[in-house]
Amino acid sequence: MVRMAHWAVIIPADQWATERLFQHETLTVTGSFTPSVPPVGFNDEVLLLAGPFVVALGQVAKESDGELVIAYTRRAFEEPVAADGLELTGAVTELAGEVYRSFASRLGSDRDRQTWLVSLDLPIEAATPAEAVRQFWSYVQELGPAELPTFVSPSGNELAMQAFVLGEEANLDPEEDEED
C-alpha cells in the first residue's frame, strides 16, 4: 500500500511576490529543509502558505535534497484562507490528513472560467511599426508589472475595466487623486 502524506509548505515572501504576478504550473521551493520522517514523497498533497494564509493546494511533483517541485492543483490567491490554528514546525511541516482536508475544503472550489480582455497600452514614438513593437517589448521587459498598469475587463463588458499594478487593483483616475 502506498502511503499518501500531507504537508504544509511555506512560500518564501520574495517568491510569493512573483507567484502572484505570473502564472506557473509548478512552484519550486528551495531551502535547507530538515529531512522529514517520513520523507516528502511524489504525489503527496500540499497546502501552500504565504504569510498567515493558505493560498493554494498542490501535489509534490519532484523532491530532492533542498528542493521541492509542487504542481498546483488549486489556487486561491485572491481569496486565501486564514491559517489559524495550523501549527508549523518549519518551512515544510507534515500534517494529519484531517487537518489537510479541513483547510482544503475551506479553500473553496475552482471558479467557472470566463474570458477576460487584458491590455497594456503604451504610446511609443518610432520610425516604423516593427521598431515600435521592439520598443514596446523592451519597455515591458524593463519596467514590468511594478511600473506598467495592465487593464482588465470581462469580455463583452469593457466598461467594467479595472487597472492592476503588481497584481493588485489600482486607481489610476487623476481626478480622484485631486479630490483627496
**b/e string for 47-78 if b means 16 or more Cβ within 10 A?**
bbbbeebbbbbbebbebeeeebebbbeebbee
| Cell reading at 56 | 493554494
Lowest mean pLDDT among 10-24, 100-114, 121-135: 100-114
Cβ atoms within 10 Å, residue 145: 19
The residues spanned by each domain of the chain are: 6-106, 116-179
Q: Model-level pTM greater than 0.95?
A: no
pLDDT of residue 35: 56
pLDDT of residue 94: 92
- State the average pLDDT for the chain: 88
Position 13 pLDDT exceeds 80: yes
Instruction: Tell me the residue type at 136.
Output: F
Shortest CA distance to 139 belongs to which of 126, 124, 153, 127?
A: 124
Residues 44-59 have pLDDT tens digits of 999 999 999 999 999 9
pLDDT (mean) for 152-176: 86
Lowest mean pLDDT among 18-22, 27-31, 107-111: 107-111
pLDDT of residue 1: 54
Which ranges constitute the DSSP H helices of 123-166? 129-147
What does 38-106 look like in DSSP terms, one character per residue? SPP-TT-EEEEEETTEEEEEEEEEEEETTEEEEEEEEE-SSS-EE-TT----SSEEEE-HHHHHHHHHH
pLDDT of residue 177: 58
Shortest CA distance to 80 belongs to which of 117, 46, 45, 50?
A: 50
Architecture, CATH, for domain 6-106: Roll (3.10)
Position 11 pLDDT exceeds 80: yes
Position 144 pLDDT exceeds 80: yes
